Chain A
Amino acid sequence: MPRLYTIVAELTYRCPLRCVYCSNPTDFAVSHGDELTTEQWSDVFRDGAALGALQLHLSGGEPLLRPDLPALIRVSRAAGLYVNLITSGATLNEHKLREFRECGLDHIQLSLQDSERESAELIAGVRCFDSKLAAAALIRNAGIPLTLNVVLHRYNIVRIPELCDLAIQLGADRLELANTQYYAWAMQNRAALLPTREQYAEAERIVTSLRENCRGKIEIAFVRADYFADRPKACMGGWANTYLCIAPAGDVMPCHAASVIPGLSFDNVRHTRLADVWRDSAALNAFRGDDWMIEPCRSCPEKKIDFGGCRCQAFMLTGEARAADPVCSLSSEHQSVIDAVDNRASASLVYRDSKNSRRLAAPR
């Protein structure tokens, strides 16, 4: 049995922002059930720590919308977890930050859409730029370690130096530059968000030199864009191998995106303790190890390195969840990824909100 290391708790799907690359399922506004209670989440965190988890990401939606957030931080920290709050910063204030720190919050990851207001607010779909800068300052003043997280795409990938300057100016410990991964809302907006090959190559070069120049000032993490690679990412370090994502209503998933794969039935922490889910869940066992693999992965010498890539991406791009991730040049469908990059279009943006969610979920 693999050991669980990391839990992402999506405390809610509610969010005041409408980011066009949100990783929440596009049907978040329909039929997902009630959010777990404080007690249910507390059991999940204690059970997760007992299973071996070391890292907890409190995410959403916007986790600040849960009034019990301080209690959840307290219980998870007491269980020994390293507690990271992933937030847009909306509604953050000095009082809340003091409370979070007293409850043992280890770290905050604040999202930033761009270094320029107009572009940032175009991507977030709401006015939020000034409140984010204010939130970053409050976090620094509260003495809580801060990572600024910027999702990269066509609109902001040309401003990496400016983003880095801003992160240093805001006193962030880390800057995470994460290229858009094309799932959920980002998949809806793929044609509009993909950068050019030249833009992406230039971004990699700039990050390499910035890392050198900023040594000692800020740590820069760069999450590569798999669409520009010829080997897939080792998605989640392997399906249900070290990582769990728990949805607001308690479904236990191997990642944010797994609900796109039809036929998977997720166990729920309302009915089953987390240790039993980790061991026995049919969905978690569906792609564990490599017995499920088909060619070209099955006989591939690299299968222990990348696990065949991402099951969700394989399903979305080929219709077969066991297929090689088409990012891989050995996939018979690799051309579809090349075409997606080469045939980018200036499409209009689909915002992540309840109205669009209900429209996307409606039967056609």
Chain B
Amino acid sequence: MSALDPAAKPRLANRARLQWDEQGQRHVLLFPEAALVLNPTAAETLKLCDGNRTVDAIVDDLASRFGQENRATIADHVIDLLVRIRERGLLEI
């Protein structure tokens, strides 16, 4: 799988839905027959995948909340996550 275009505007696939899991106290990504458990930063990232924001803008948003000094690490994590979600067919980009 190729890397992501930073100007691309990712959006969760129609069949995937973010859901708060009260019992596990975490977000999960639900889709047919399965679920992915998300850590808090992954959940915040996917909340921003609305088809309007670019990958760059998503990284900017997270860096403003989690620390500009961590921007490079955040960018790596965001791209890694989005590539994996895309590979499962759950992200339109």
- Ranked 3 nearest A-B pairs via Cβ: A145-B15, A82-B30, A52-B23
Q: Contacting B14 at CB < 8 Å: which of A82, A143, A221?
A: A143
Interface residues on B, range: 10 to 19
Residue positions of B touching A, CB distance < 8 A? 13-15, 17, 19-24, 28, 30-33, 35, 89
Which of B15, B19, B21, B28 neighbours the largest number of chain A CB atoms within 10 Å of its CB?
Answer: B15
Pair A106/B28 contact, Cβ less than 8 Å: no
Pair B15/A55 contact, Cβ less than 8 Å: no
Give Cα A82–Cα B17 distance, bound, in whole angstroms: 8
CB nearest neighbor in A for B28: A54
Inter-chain contact count A-B, CB under 8 Å? 45
9 CB-based A-B contacts, threshold 8 Å: A50-B22, A54-B35, A55-B33, A106-B15, A145-B13, A173-B15, A216-B89, A219-B89, A221-B33
Interfacial chain A residues near B33, Cβ < 8 Å: 55, 221
Contact indicator per residue, chain A 173-215, by CB within 8 Å of chain B (1) or not (0): 1100000000000000000000000000000000000000000
Interfacial chain B residues near A221, Cβ < 8 Å: 33
Give Cα A82–Cα B32 distance, bound, in whole angstroms: 8
Contact indicator per residue, chain A 111-127, by CB within 8 Å of chain B (1) or not (0): 00000000000000000
Pair B30/A55 contact, Cβ less than 8 Å: yes
Q: Contacting B32 at CB < 8 Å: which of A50, A109, A143?
A: A109
Pair B19/A145 contact, Cβ less than 8 Å: no
Q: Of residues 1 to 44 in A, which have CB atoms within 8 Å of B's CB atoms?
A: 3, 5
CB distance from A62 to the nearest CB of B (A): 20
CB distance from B73 to the nearest CB of A (A): 30
The verdict on A289 contacting chain B, using a C-beta distance below 8 Å, is no
Q: Contacting B15 at CB < 8 Å: which of A5, A50, A107, A216?
A: A107
Pair A174/B32 contact, Cβ less than 8 Å: yes
CB nearest neighbor in B for A221: B33
New contact pairs (14) apart from A54-B30, A82-B17, A84-B32, CB-CB < 8 Å: A51-B23, A54-B19, A54-B35, A55-B33, A80-B19, A80-B20, A82-B19, A82-B30, A106-B15, A106-B30, A109-B32, A143-B14, A145-B13, A219-B89
Give Cα A118–Cα B45 distance, bound, in whole angstroms: 49
Which of B23, B31, B32, B33 neighbours the largest number of chain A CB atoms within 10 Å of its CB?
Answer: B32
CB nearest neighbor in A for B30: A82
CB distance from B32 to the nearest CB of A (A): 5
Give Cα A333–Cα B35 distance, bound, in whole angstroms: 37
Interfacial chain A residues near B23, Cβ < 8 Å: 3, 51-52
Give Cα A9–Cα B20 distance, bound, in whole angstroms: 22
Interfacial chain B residues near A50, Cβ < 8 Å: 22
The verdict on A147 contacting chain B, using a C-beta distance below 8 Å, is yes
Give Cα A216–Cα B17 distance, bound, in whole angstroms: 19
CB distance from A9 to the nearest CB of B (A): 16
